[in-house]
Amino acid sequence: MSRVTVIAHISDLHVTGDAARRSRICAVVDHVNARADGIDVLVVTGDITDDGTPAQNTEAAEILGAARVPTLVIPGNHDRRPEFSRALLAGAATDLPLNRSATVAGVLYLMCDSTIPGRDDGWLSDASLGWMESEIVAAGADTPVVVCFHHPPVTLGMPFMDGIRQIGEDRLADLIARHPNVVGSLCGHAHTGAVTTFAGRPLVIAPGVSATLKLPFEGEGIVDATQPAGIAFHQLDGFRLITHFRSVV
């Protein structure tokens, strides 16, 4: 019987420096920590800060640094690469895509930077796609691969967010189709827990930690701040991805 890997997946923290927002985010990290013995990794799929300022990145690094499991992060459109790299990746400031890979408990995680500086929509550059392919090939066909980025590469029936999704997605779909060991993709950006398919594999969008965005039939406005923070728990049983959603009150 194969070992089941457990992935905690959160997104869209939008650290602002506000005490109420910090409390909301810390409650989610505490929720993970209370179950850390059964969790292999925490994946955070972008918009970790609200404006990308040095102060917000410092606060975000402090909050996420309290996680008791290995933590993998990528930027979102609200983050800024130079400040993000310094505070959350312990690297030099750079404007280049912040792509990183990590193998945890036998699973390869590709943390792909889909941001376009100065824009809200997303794109994976040809260089990023080339890097992804080389990482997958190097890991070998027997290694499960989880692809992570911020922007969904499909529409979600949310007009506002669909207008700022990931573009040029056919190239990514072709890459995934070439590698059967890619078990699925994880992302954020839409502030709603959702599951669909992309390139014939699961695509899971994490709920928003900071707030939830409304579907068209859920009333006027876009943001629903009354909803609790959310988290996705993914169980990876061999090459099969199973997702459960939880609210953190």
How far apart CA 185 and CA 29 sit, in angstroms, is 22
Looking at the structure, give the CATH architecture of the domain made up of residues 4-248: 4-Layer Sandwich (3.60)
**pLDDT at position 2:** 67
Q: Nearest to residue 41, comparing CAs of 97, 86, 84, 102?
A: 102
Burial of residue 142, with CB atoms counted within 10 A of its CB: 0-12 exposed, 13-18 middle, 19 or more buried: exposed
User: How far apart, in whole angstroms, are the C-alpha atoms of residue 31 and residue 4?
Assistant: 20
Q: How far apart are CA 167 and CA 170, in angstroms?
A: 8
One digit per residue, the tens of pLDDT, for the chain of length 249 reads 468 999 999 999 999 999 999 999 999 999 999 999 999 999 999 999 999 999 999 999 999 999 999 999 999 999 999 999 999 999 999 999 999 999 999 999 999 999 999 999 999 999 999 999 999 999 999 999 999 999 999 999 999 999 999 999 999 999 999 999 999 999 999 999 999 999 999 999 999 999 999 999 999 999 998 999 999 999 999 999 999 999 998
Using alpha carbons, select from 166, 147, 124 the residue that is nearest to residue 43: 147
* Statement: the pTM of the whole predicted model exceeds 0.95: yes
Domain positions in the chain are 4-248
Nearest to residue 16, comparing CAs of 64, 52, 45? 52
Q: Measuring CA to CA, how many Å separate 32 from each of 7, 28, 133, 220, 231?
A: 10, 6, 31, 33, 9
